[in-house]
Amino acid sequence: MTRQTVPIDDRVGIGHVHLKVADLDRALKFYCGVLGFELTQRFGSQAAFISAGGYHHHIGLNTWESAGGSPPPPGATGLYHLAILYPTRALLADALRRVLAAGIELEGASDHGVSEALYLRDPDNNGVELYWDRPREQWPRSPEGAWPCSRTRWIWILYWRKSRTDPTAVGSRVPGSILPFRRLENARPRFRIGGRAAAGAAGDCSAGPGCRAGSPPRRSWQ
């Protein structure tokens, strides 16, 4: 008889992600200078902690074992990407504006049905997902009530063409100055385990090859 696993409490979440980086200043230019996170604590050139909305830290960065180091080679286990959740579609559009203004290329962009997501790389070649969740009542579901991956699609056309007519479209021009983000979460860090991506939350549509088939080759952030 299979022992039934008791589900984890639904209030549990991912509190922060801690990354090993080669150059602390370079990493801070990306996470703070481009994405808008705020520095909450720093220990010289060895470690820094950053957050949104006054939290103690959503992301930790350190060079303790990685100063001047290189990203792991293809085929290695480790972090697949960290995912940053935005509360609205308009704020995701603002994040895209920041990224493009910094000259950073996207790896891809997908509509997963439950969410819309942008994919890119940080200075240390870590995968970064920027996304917003649709309201739960809009999630596509099977007759049995489960939400499938079948609606995943690329949204390049969506966020470029709609930007001219829809001010909330991903990729639209968002007026106003760049301000620190608030109410963000590091929602789903994913890790490579034996060569396959594993999601930080059960049922994660964007983990695995099926949801991002045909994605562009990954590029290092400069």
**CA–CA gap between residue 175 and residue 160 (Å, rounded):** 17
pLDDT digits 0-9 by tens, 15-63: 999 999 999 999 999 999 999 999 999 999 999 999 999 999 999 999 9
Instruction: Report residue 143's pLDDT band, with 50, 70 and 90 as the boundaries.
Output: confident
C-alpha to C-alpha distance for 146 and 22, rounded to whole angstroms: 41
Summarize pLDDT for 83-131 with one digit per residue, the tens: 999 999 999 999 999 999 999 999 999 998 899 999 999 999 999 999 9
Total Cβ atoms within 10 A of residue 101: 10
Helices (H), 60-181: 89-101, 156-161
**Hey, is 109 helix, strand or coil?**
strand
List 153's β-bridge partners, or say none: 111
C-beta separation of 140 from 151 below 8 A? yes
In 3D space, the residue among 106, 101, 88, 86 whose CA is nearest the CA of residue 177 turns out to be 101
| E strand or H helix at 20 | strand 17-20
**128 within 8 A of 81, measured Cβ to Cβ:** yes
79-212 maps to CATH 3.40.50:
no
Q: What is the pLDDT of residues 178-221, one digit of tens each?
A: 334 444 444 555 544 443 333 333 333 333 333 333 333 344 44
Whole-structure pTM value: 0.71
Asked if residues 72 and 191 have their Cβ atoms less than 8 Å apart, the reply is no
8/201 Cα distance (integer angstroms): 11
Is residue 153 pLDDT above 50, yes or no?
Answer: yes
**CA distance linking residue 222 with residue 209, whole number of Å:** 26
Q: How many residues does the chain have?
A: 222
Rounded mean pLDDT of the chain?
A: 76
Tell me, what amino acid is at 207? Answer: A
- For residue 50, which of 73, 21, 75 has the smallest C-alpha distance? 21
- Is residue 147 classed exposed, middle or buried when 0-12, 13-18 and 19+ CB atoms within 10 A define those classes? middle
Question: pLDDT value at position 3?
Answer: 72
* CA–CA distance, 20 with 22 (Å, rounded to integer): 7
